[in-house]
């Protein structure tokens, strides 16, 4: 009765047709779970009679606008509280009975979603591979010899195997993205604080994010939007202040040759290159970045004082029950005992230094496109070398929360042996809505099915682009041109380069004396018949335009410029008093040509 892979639209169609009720679906889901050969996916399931009773009560109420997830089965990683089920964090000795649902879980259940149970994880969310649990190691849905990815291992496999339509994971170092890649799913890691962490057993409390694993962006982002909301009980909660991404001419950062590391996995490297080509075909502009500051900040997560934050989360339990912990997890967390407050401050200083260097790379690009994981490992190999191989998996994920970014992992295809790979789009904080729309476009540019079903077509339901605000065009002529010292004032505000063109004939350009940085002054010269001067036209939202204009110092101002095609735009003009002693450089045709001639 159920399709092989569950989606929100597929379930909705099933209900609307009358072919099934929510009670029918939960019975089928529980039968599918019972028949699964991977017994390590679930830690705790709700009783069937309880699920059926909830589903029948939903059916009596009927679907409604305030229940957009009506009758949709979902799973929750077992470090997130769900009333009526124990929270174990994959450590039985740690288990407790929560009095209420976590904030995010409560929102989903109010929306009509049906909680099936709690899923397995790397113990205390410490790991990226899925083998660090006394409940067993969930396996990739494509080959049981290989890891599922972690720490949200059970959540990913539950979705990938078709047990539920979506699942909640968490992500501190990549735990919601790595398992998405290894099970042909999307993994959505919101900006820190947008989804409340109330009711979450923390790994690193200042970095943790509750994430969504789903088959495609339409489902995953819909769930993210429902979970999202300011929660005053979470001291790290933040309200959304949306950040736009360019609609045209999007610049995406890629790895340069010196930073490409796939640990010998040439096929995953080739799948990354293919994803780059797809984003270029969609109009993106590839820009090689220096990945070093991102990689160096990533190393702080386990190699720096942030491991002490993991210790802080379980300090009392560790003191009494350390012997009950997974040996690898115990060793990692125990390492914090040798750290001091001085080490914490030194780590914070290092992070800010890396952030400053990373900011220089961000000024070149709007988003990053990176491999989600450089390769995938067999379970046996991971168990034999648990720390080094786990570290390899996090090479392109560990920095994201430290540097306050949002991220979306999407499928990137399959190696010849049938194992999947993924890529991740990463943007600065609060670009979640725009990033979801971009990830949707890239995922649909080449579908690889959903989860275990490589032939499953992506549903027609997709992520709508963020509501576009009208852009104000502004002409720049000097230090704000692409590649010039002040261009970042445009790119930092998500400005979009619309075109390069010339002014009308009646303008002159002067090199202003003693300007820092060097800049020209454009002046209207009635009756002058030149050849026009090269300008760039950038688009800014009204709010960004106002902030940009406020940064402009005298003698510059914004007025109306006439372009060569006769249209008018706002643009830089110069007050006449500043031209005393200035060199007329009109004959060069533009600021860039003048600088090139000057340096020749």
Q: How far, in whole angstroms, is CA 38 from its chain's centroid?
A: 29
Phi and psi, residue 135, nearest 5°:
-90, 5
Give the CB-side neighbour count of residue 547, counting CA atoms within 13 A. Answer: 12
The string of DSSP codes covering 38-74 is -TTSEEEE--HHHHHHHHHHHHHH---TT-TTTT-EE
CA distance 41 to 76: 11
Q: Is 151 a catalytic residue?
A: yes
Catalytic residue among 133, 148, 175, 391: 175
Q: CA 378 → CA 126, 137, 286, 381, 412, distances in Å? A: 19, 11, 33, 5, 20
Query: Which region, left, alpha or beta, applies to residue 79 given φ > 0 means left and ψ of -120 to 50 means alpha?
Result: alpha
Catalytic residue among 133, 140, 148, 151: 151
For residue 401, give the nearest of 103, 176, 126 by alpha carbon.
Answer: 176
For residue 135, give the nearest of 122, 148, 125, 152 by alpha carbon.
Answer: 122
For residue 74, give the nearest of 172, 169, 150 by alpha carbon.
Answer: 169
Q: Helix, strand, coil shares of the chain as percentages rounded to 5?
A: 35, 20, 45
Catalytic residue among 77, 118, 192, 519: 77
- Tokens representing 422 are 């993924």
Phi and psi, residue 408, nearest 5°:
-135, 120
Q: Are strands 367-371 and 251-255 parallel, antiparallel or unpaired?
A: parallel
- Tokens representing 336 are 């914090």
Q: Is 599 a catalytic residue?
A: no
For residue 89, give the nearest of 120, 50, 117, 48 by alpha carbon.
Answer: 120
Asked whether the beta carbons of 159 and 75 are under 8 A apart, the reply is yes
Q: 3-state DSSP call for residue 143?
A: coil
Residues recognised as catalytic: 77, 151, 175
């Amino acid at each position: 009765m159920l399709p092989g892979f569950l989606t929100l639209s597929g379930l909705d169609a099933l209900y609307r047709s009358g072919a099934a009720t929510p009670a029918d679906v939960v019975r089928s889901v529980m039968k599918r779970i019972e028949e699964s050969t991977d017994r390590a996916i679930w830690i705790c399931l709700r009783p069937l009679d309880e699920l059926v009773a909830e589903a029948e009560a939903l059916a009596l109420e009927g679907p409604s606008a305030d229940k957009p997830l009506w009758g949709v089965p979902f799973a929750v990683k077992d470090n997130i509280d769900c009333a009526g089920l124990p929270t174990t964090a994959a450590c039985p000795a740690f288990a407790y009975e929560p009095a209420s649902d976590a904030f995010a879980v409560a929102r989903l259940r109010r929306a009509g979603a049906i909680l099936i149970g709690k899923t397995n994880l790397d113990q205390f969310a410490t790991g990226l591979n899925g083998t660090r649990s006394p409940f067993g190691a969930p396996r990739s849905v494509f080959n049981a010899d290989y890891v599922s990815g972690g720490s949200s291992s059970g959540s990913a496999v539950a979705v990938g195997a078709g047990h539920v339509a979506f699942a909640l994971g968490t992500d501190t170092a990549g735990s919601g993205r790595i398992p998405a890649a290894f099970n042909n799913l999307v993994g959505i890691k919101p900006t820190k604080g947008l989804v409340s962490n109330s009711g979450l057993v923390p790994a690193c409390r200042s970095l943790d994010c509750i994430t969504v694993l789903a088959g495609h962006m339409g489902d995953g982002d819909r769930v993210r939007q429902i979970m999202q909301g300011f929660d005053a009980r979470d001291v790290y909660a933040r309200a959304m202040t949306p950040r736009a991404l360019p609609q045209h001419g999007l610049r995406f950062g890629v790895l340069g040759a010196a930073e490409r590391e796939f640990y010998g996995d040439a096929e995953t490297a080739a799948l990354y290159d293919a994803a780059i080509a797809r984003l270029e075909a969609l109009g993106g502009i590839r820009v090689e970045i220096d990945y070093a500051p991102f990689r160096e900040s990533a190393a702080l997560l386990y190699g720096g004082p942030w491991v002490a934050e993991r210790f802080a989360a379980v300090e009392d339990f560790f003191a009494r029950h350390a012997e009950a912990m997974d040996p690898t997890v115990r060793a990692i967390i125990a390492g914090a005992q040798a750290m001091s407050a001085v080490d914490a401050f030194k780590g914070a200083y290092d992070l800010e230094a890396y952030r400053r260097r990373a900011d220089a790379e961000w000024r070149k690009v709007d988003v990053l496109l990176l491999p989600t994981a450089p390769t995938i490992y067999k379970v046996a190999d991971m168990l034999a070398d648990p720390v080094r191989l786990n570290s390899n998996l996090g090479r392109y994920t560990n920095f994201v929360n430290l540097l306050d970014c949002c991220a979306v992992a999407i499928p990137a295809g399959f190696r010849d042996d049938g194992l999947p790979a993924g890529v991740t789009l990463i943007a600065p904080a609060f670009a979640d809505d725009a990033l979801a729309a971009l990830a949707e476009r890239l995922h649909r540019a080449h579908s690889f099915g959903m989860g275990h079903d490589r032939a499953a077509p992506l549903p027609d339901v997709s992520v709508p682009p963020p509501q576009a605000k009208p852009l104000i065009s502004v002409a720049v002529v000097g230090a704000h041109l692409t590649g010039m010292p002040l261009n970042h004032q445009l790119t930092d505000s998500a400005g979009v380069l619309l075109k390069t063109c010339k002014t009308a004939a009646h303008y002159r350009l002067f090199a202003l004396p003693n300007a820092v940085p060097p800049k020209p002054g454009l002046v209207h010269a009635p009756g002058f018949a030149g050849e026009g001067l090269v300008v760039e036209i950038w688009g800014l939202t009204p709010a960004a335009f106002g902030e940009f204009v406020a940064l402009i110092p005298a003698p510059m101002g914004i007025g109306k410029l006439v372009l060569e095609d006769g249209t008018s735009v706002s643009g830089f003009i110069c007050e006449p008093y500043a031209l005393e002693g200035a060199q007329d450089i009109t004959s060069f045709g533009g600021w860039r040509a003048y600088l090139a001639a000057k340096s020749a």
